[in-house]
Structure 1
Amino acid sequence: FCPKWVAPNVLTFSGFLFTVLNFLMFAHYDYYFYASSDAKPEYPPIPNWVYGVAAFNIFMAYTLDGIDGKQARRTQTSGPLGELFDHGLDSWTAMLITVCMYSVFGRFDNSVSPLRMYFILWNVFVNFYLSHWEKYNTGVLFLPWGYDISMVATVLIFIFTSIAGHEAWKFEIFGGLTAGVMFEILLYISALVSNLPVVLWNIYKSYRDKTGKNRTLVEALRPLVPLIVLFTITTMWILHSENNIIERDPRIIYFATGTIFSNICCRLIVAQMSNTRCEILPWILLPVAGAAFFSYILPQYDLVTMYIVALCALLAHVHYGSCV
């Protein structure tokens, strides 16, 4: 039950704040993702109650994100602004929840390295983005069941960890396959099986049946350019960092990349709702490219530069959201 005087966007934002709380909570207890690793005993384990709180927060975020649309229709306040607010915050949440999950397995022992986690994060980004790229070309947002399954699975994983502790994930099967690696493989397989083929098929059908936007191939692929540019810049920066910033502070890299991704995704959502041409190079990519070049020239400052990029991306994204 939700009173009619509660605005739908209040529900949306409240749900988002639950995921922000999780991110801040795990950053406090496990900033460097060492807490679940036996190799770093100087970093104490995350208290079990933290995982319980995280499960509750994800459940509340998922619930509020699910009822905001119903509340909008119930109060007759549905509109494009609500859709942008909802899906725009979801694009940011994609980073927040995934990074929190990394603390369950940690970066050592039975898990994956921060670099591999970076690519896992990008797998989540691409799948989220493809759904909105699909709507950009078809005019319809076909939401797969993968989102609901992933949210329920996240809640269950946090609940299980709060009861059994993070040690319960330290096992191997099939000759060395660890829990963290299984999580990694599952995400990649789900993307290749449940999302990408469906997106491509729906776009193909819209062209075949002439029910979509029927853009040229170049125009249809246009929204993918900023995503590819961001991936190229950040990946080259990380791989060529002399100070190995992905190992020194992976959290700030995940946050900066996720925030910029969310901004790019919001611009695509605006373009699809307003039926306008998607930006091919959003201005937010220019300072990122400049920062990457600066870190290449002066590698001793590359981590400091990443901190600046993260702060500027946060301010720019909040400004964009408040103005739009």
Structure 2
Amino acid sequence: MAGYEYVSSEQLAGFDKYKYSAVDTNPLSLYVMHPFWNTIVKIFPTWLAPNLITFSGFLLVVFNFVLMAYFDPDFYASAPGHRHVPDWVWIVVGILNFTAYTLDGVDGKQARRTNSSTPLGELFDHGLDSWSCVFFVVTVYSIFGRGPSGVSVFVLYILLWVVLFSFILSHWEKYNTGVLFLPWGYDISQVTISFVYIVTAIVGVEAWYEPFLFNFLYRDLFTTMIIVWIFWSPSNILEIHPRVFYLMVGTAFANSTCHLIVCQMSSTRCPTLNWLLLLPLLLVVTVVNFGVTSYVESVLLYVLTTVFTLAHIHYGVRVVKQLSNHFQIYPFSLRKPNSD
């Protein structure tokens, strides 16, 4: 699999013709964030590759996820009678979240500033954004938490799918129209949540809780199998391992979204099903519904999450390598391969 090529020759040819087109009408973005990013980008040296900025921001989001997983592994830290997350952790998470959001805002400006804009940069940016959705949403969950004064893990699952669906919907719209209409909610949520993390350290999590519920229409095979697993799970797997379950779903979503973005940018037909992810999931759900112990079901979830994660990383690395070779560039350096 080391040399497997995910991007076809037809798609590579399509990337050569690609032109970025986006519409951003959010007042917060236009009149506050863009002027702020235009100032911040001047701090970065001109030798710094935009993709390195993008990847650094993604790593901060993952670090926040891991940090909250350590201090709030089962999402009960905000519940009465449980050991709460230390105040300094909320402050760190808030600062790092805003920093990651800032890096995500300046990477494109750095690309234009250094005349290094390529389709790879956009794919790299939006591909990592698609995976960041699950890390961001699950980290936010610790503000509300579980328990009598919190939000159920199933409600958070519904919320996660609303976010995932909103993200993929904007790229599906671009797949059909050729224009990416940037949603208002992204900038508003990033600025607000970064602020909320810090205020939570000051006033406590209880002051920020408000009950909410979302109704969502599950339309594809992957979602149907996930719902079957949740409701027919012998050990109520979502209650036992919510964080891992969210990661599994979010990673599969990110992989499918990346396939869509590649097809959209290369003007090629998007495949209906992602069998690389569907087949392992179908196998696990089938085995689980025949009846297994809690331990076996937990092992299957961890194995499936590992398979999805490794498959997605392999896909990302190979696609980046293919496009880097095609455009004769380095993904994390502004030097040209022929300048060595």
Per the normalisation by structure 2, the TM-score is 0.78
Partner of 1:26: 68
Partner of 2:226: 234
Matches within 5 A, 1:140-155: 140-155=179-194
| Displacement of 1:281 | 1.1
Aligned letter for 1:317?
H
CA contact (8 A) 2:94 2:197 kept: yes
Between stretches 92-101 and 279-288, larger displacement belongs to: 279-288
Q: Does 1:294 align with 2:294?
A: no
Please state whether the residue corresponding to 1:284 is helix, strand or coil.
helix
Partner of 1:85: 124
| Displacement of 1:74 | 1.1
CA contact (8 A) 2:234 2:291 kept: no
Q: Does 1:315 align with 2:307?
A: no
Partner of 2:162: 123
| Displacement of 1:51 | 0.5
CA contact (8 A) 1:107 1:114 kept: yes
Partner of 1:247: 239
Q: Does 1:64 align with 2:103?
A: yes
- Structure 2 distance, partners of 1:168, 1:144, is 28
Please state whether the residue corresponding to 2:220 is helix, strand or coil.
helix
CA contact (8 A) 2:281 2:304 kept: yes
Please state whether the residue corresponding to 1:261 is helix, strand or coil.
helix
Partner of 2:278: 285
- Structure 1 distance, partners of 2:220, 2:196, is 32
Matches within 5 A, 1:1-324: 1-38=43-80, 41=81, 43-169=82-208, 179-181=209-211, 184=212, 228-282=220-274, 283-300=276-293, 301-324=296-319
Please state whether the residue corresponding to 1:36 is helix, strand or coil.
coil
CA contact (8 A) 1:241 1:299 kept: no
Please state whether the residue corresponding to 1:299 is helix, strand or coil.
coil
| Displacement of 1:277 | 0.7
Q: Mind listing any 5+ residue stretches in structure 2 that lack a counterpart?
A: 1-42, 320-340
Aligned letter for 1:51?
W
Please state whether the residue corresponding to 1:37 is helix, strand or coil.
coil
- Structure 2 distance, partners of 1:233, 1:76, is 45
Partner of 1:173: none
- Structure 2 distance, partners of 1:290, 1:78, is 42
Aligned residues between the structures: 274
Between stretches 294-303 and 14-23, larger displacement belongs to: 294-303
| Displacement of 1:162 | 1.4
* Structure 1 runs, 4 residues or longer, greater than 3 Å off: none
Aligned letter for 1:7?
A
- Structure 1 distance, partners of 2:181, 2:88, is 37
CA contact (8 A) 2:137 2:160 kept: yes
Deviations 1:108-136 (A, max 9, x none): 13221101111110010000010000000
Per the normalisation by structure 1, the TM-score is 0.81
State the superposition RMSD in angstroms: 1.8
Please state whether the residue corresponding to 2:116 is helix, strand or coil.
coil
Q: Which has the higher contact order (CA 8 A, sep 6+)?
A: 2
Change in Cα spacing, 1:255 to 1:180, as seen in structure 2 (3 Å) is farther
Deviations 1:25-52 (A, max 9, x none): 00000010010011xx3x4110011110
